[in-house]
Amino acid sequence: MSSIISLKHVLLYLTSFILWTTCTIPGYIKVCHRDDPKLVTCINDSITILKPYLKKGIPELDVPPLEPLLLDAVDLKSGNGATRVEATISNLKIWGPTSFVIQELKPNLNKNIFKFKVLLPELNVVGQYKADARVLFFNLKGEGPAYINITDYRFECKLKGNKIMKEGEEFLEFEKMKLKIEVGTSNIRLENLFNGDPVLGKATSDVVNENSNLFISEILPNLQQALSEKFTNIANKITLRFTYKELFP
């Protein structure tokens, strides 16, 4: 019995060893030839094919699921007198980042620089808020779930890669992506405002929504940071697994 188990282990070990060392490009990675006259289309297709895999994660490349994207808690504390804000949004989870559409792409394979203009059609954010604030003419107090929808956000980003040598082979490694988000429209729903008081809650909720971009601008730096970190990480997980020649023959 035990010899059967150990034989199975040896076979498993051998199989993974063979898979690891040959490292052939998996089917979901579409390779683009560097002199392809339709290089932009090819790279765009290649990323489009990858999107559902990025959403769920690619365990064999050690790429974690991109959705939901988790954000660090955001603390807002400011003011005195007429304006006073103390608020926290924590446990932020974001769905939708993999539904991005690449609207413009400028690859420069000689310099290994890729410039993208990307549309995020919709992001759905869920978090926990806790707020006690007086801003100009309204009070905001409560604690509970926060739902935020962000529609038609655009971002521009630049990925710069450097060729590095590993065990005699050339690999492409990206520097941290530069990413700048342009604000689109957003909707915010804060539940349990004023302990669920329907009148105060509704009025405040309307004010929050009318000023939603002010609130969003507070979480924007964290969102930018998280997106550029994740996208750079994923790009490197893929490019550092395969040689430059394999990826851009």
Ligand X SMILES: *[C@@H]1O[C@H](CO)[C@@H](O)[C@H](O)[C@H]1NC(C)=O
Q: For 235, phi and psi rounded to 5 degrees?
A: -55, -45
Report the residue number whose CB is nearest to ligand X.
Answer: 187
Q: How far is the CB of 58 from ligand X (least distance, A)?
A: 20
Q: Which is nearer to ligand X, 103 or 217 (CB)?
A: 103
> Residue 38 Cβ, how far from ligand X at the closest point, in Å?
9
Write out the two tokens for 51.
Answer: 């999107």
Which of 205, 225 has the CB closer to ligand X?
A: 205
Please identify which residue in the block is written with the tokens 């995020």: 120
Q: Rounded to whole angstroms, how far apart are CA atoms 112 and 162?
A: 7
| Rg of the chain, C-alpha, whole Å | 23
Catalog residues that contact ligand X under the rule CB under 6 A.
Answer: 40-41, 44, 48, 101-105, 124, 147, 149, 187, 189
Closer residue to ligand X (CB): 84 or 130: 130
Minimum separation from the CB atom of position 151 to ligand X (A): 9
Q: Are 104 and 116 in contact (CB under 8 A)?
A: yes
Q: How far is the CB of 107 from ligand X (least distance, A)?
A: 10
Residue 214: DSSP 8-state: H
Cβ proximity to ligand X: between 174 and 215 the closer is 215
Q: Tokens for 91?
A: 């446990």
